[in-house]
Structure 1
Amino acid sequence: MDELTSIIIVLADSGPLTRECVEHALASDRPVEVILVDNGSDDGVPEALDRAYVGDDRVRVVYNRANLGFGPAVNRGAVHARGKWLLVLNPDCLIDPDTITRMGAHIGPHTGIVGAVVQDASGQVDPASRRRDPLLGRAIATKLGRGGGIDIAGPLPAGAEPVEIVSGAILLMPRAAFETLGGFDETFFLHCEDMDLCRRARDMGYQVLLAGDVQVMHGKGGSSRHRPVFVSRHKHRSMFIWFRRHDPAATNPLVRAVVWLGIWAHFVLKIPGQLLRKKRR
């Protein structure tokens, strides 16, 4: 358990919690390096962290000088990684010293991805911690409040549990599995890239596991609050890409067209509320 873990954190005007995220990461009880990949931030945080850790070879800042998207940024960070394991971590997530050790304890020869239970400061668990593939039938069941939907009800496991999707806020992967999968699919600019990665991992015979005994605090949406419409547009675009690639229902041209119209109508209807909330902030 003394192998190096490379922690990849993507920044995009992610805010002051990023500093705390890095501090928590460096306090890990196992050897780590932190690779900060900046997607053209204007808040000065990447540069401040670069200066703060200039004498610490465990921290490296990679500047993209433009917003390349989440998945592409992780892939560029992985190029610089030296660790046997990769931990993809959101900049508003705070890990404990033993988080990586406890997640890593569940990695076996066929494990591709290990996720954790993501929760807010009040202890409320994010449903994205474990989900089923968002197939059309399941999405409809979720909207109607019926069982068999995307979200998985019931108590969390005491240990590791095979699931279809874990939250992309924190993902631990053997570097070999990440490279076999080709990293994140860069067609996804933002959102759904974690669902795509989990699906491709399972399709290649890897296990996707939820470490139900590991909880991680997630601040939620540091950069999305500044650009809600921008983020929402890419989220809806990614939803359709995932549907088109992975849902058997997408083979029907009529169904595909109806889903496309529904996704973009939903995007348009959400814009007024998003702009109003941004103005109030």
Structure 2
Amino acid sequence: MSAPDIAVVVVTWDSEETLDACLTRLRAAEGVVEIRVVDCNSTDTTMAIVQRHAVVDPRLHFIANPDHPGLGPACNQGVADSRAPWLALLDPGCLIEPDTLMQLRDRAASGNALVGADPVDEAGVREPEARLRDSGSNSADWRWPRLEPAPITAEELQDVTAISGAVMMLSRALFEALGGFNPAYFTGIGNLDLCRRAHSAGARVACANAVRITRISGMAARTHPLHLTWHQRLDASRYLWRCGPRTAALLACPRIWARFPLDLLRVLARTGAQAP
């Protein structure tokens, strides 16, 4: 068996619902030498859960931010605080198997690759964003600018345009060559930007179709619905403007924002949330 050489970064934000199970499985995973939990000013019991695990596992260090710097910048913090040559960026809603990360590392090591897994929800339904390809136009789902779900192939490692942010495995050398995550993006659209830059750098972006994980998603959407929907739209608009034809961005941005007033009213009616 290879020596442990994987640093895992988990970004939390009011993640108490799944974090204990996530960290328990992560601590039992093969190949893990460092665990970095970067918290984004959680107000629930997230930090208490993290501290309980840190007390009994010296591999686990945490960074407690006084605010939310954004998903990408928080990942950058965790990477900077680690040293291992392989990096796994893991969503706190993910429940992995003991060999999940080693399987991903072995596949990423077979080439200069950024590799994702095949996430399913608790009912076993696959995430459509696990495999995204260029749509050639503005896609039906504005959260994937100019991208659409790709058909699943029989390949063990399927080349795609972008992978899910549930878990991303890549070498530290590749992460540093890409300059990490762009701090301009607050939400998971920063993952799409990282994949885009990996392609531009000549790296492979692929989904390991045989490596399945369970992901309980939507926690942030439930606890911070207004904050998240606001920043998702900002990031989607910014991504289109920076990375696509300007004409396409001008046509897509009105559609991205068209439903925001209705979504805002629904959130305010349901939760009494304050505008960002």
- Shared topology, TM-score over 0.5? yes
In structure 2, relative to structure 1, the CA distance for the partners of 1:226 and 1:31 (3 Å cut) is closer
CA distances 1:197-240 after superposition (whole Å, capped 9, x unpaired): 00000011000011001011010022221111110010011111
Q: CA RMSD in A?
A: 2.1
2:252 match: 259
From 148, 151, 176, the counterpart of 2:149: 151
1:163 match: 160
2:262 match: 269
Larger mean CA deviation between 44-53 and 67-76 belongs to 44-53
Contact 2:14 2:44 survives alignment (8 Å):
yes
How far the C-alpha of 1:270 sits from its partner, in A, is 2.3
Three-state SS of the structure 1 residue aligned to 2:149 is coil
How far the C-alpha of 1:169 sits from its partner, in A, is 1.3
Larger mean CA deviation between 228-237 and 100-109 belongs to 100-109
Residues in 2 aligned to 1:202 and 1:4: alpha-carbon distance in whole angstroms: 25
2:244 match: 247
Counterpart amino acid of 1:93?
Answer: C
Runs of at least 4 residues off by over 6 Å? none
Residues in 1 aligned to 2:147 and 2:38: alpha-carbon distance in whole angstroms: 35
Three-state SS of the structure 1 residue aligned to 2:223 is coil
Residues in 2 aligned to 1:179 and 1:228: alpha-carbon distance in whole angstroms: 32
Aligned residues: 268
Counterpart amino acid of 1:242?
Answer: Y
Counterpart amino acid of 1:11?
Answer: T
Counterpart amino acid of 1:157?
Answer: A
Report % sequence identity. 29
How far the C-alpha of 1:170 sits from its partner, in A, is 0.7
1:139 match: 139
Counterpart amino acid of 2:221?
Answer: S
Three-state SS of the structure 1 residue aligned to 2:206 is strand
Three-state SS of the structure 2 residue aligned to 1:6 is strand
In structure 2, relative to structure 1, the CA distance for the partners of 1:228 and 1:193 (3 Å cut) is same
Contact 2:120 2:214 survives alignment (8 Å):
yes
1:201 match: 198
Residues in 1 aligned to 2:110 and 2:211: alpha-carbon distance in whole angstroms: 20
Counterpart amino acid of 1:265?
Answer: A
Three-state SS of the structure 2 residue aligned to 1:242 is helix
Residues in 2 aligned to 1:31 and 1:256: alpha-carbon distance in whole angstroms: 41
Residues in 2 aligned to 1:7 and 1:59: alpha-carbon distance in whole angstroms: 9
Residues in 1 aligned to 2:16 and 2:52: alpha-carbon distance in whole angstroms: 16
State the TM-score, normalized to the length of structure 1: 0.88
Contact 1:8 1:88 survives alignment (8 Å):
yes
Three-state SS of the structure 2 residue aligned to 1:233 is helix
Residues in 1 aligned to 2:190 and 2:200: alpha-carbon distance in whole angstroms: 15
* 1:11 to 2:4 alignment: no
In structure 2, relative to structure 1, the CA distance for the partners of 1:177 and 1:221 (3 Å cut) is same
Q: How does 1:51-66 map to 2 (within 5 A)?
A: 51-66=52-67
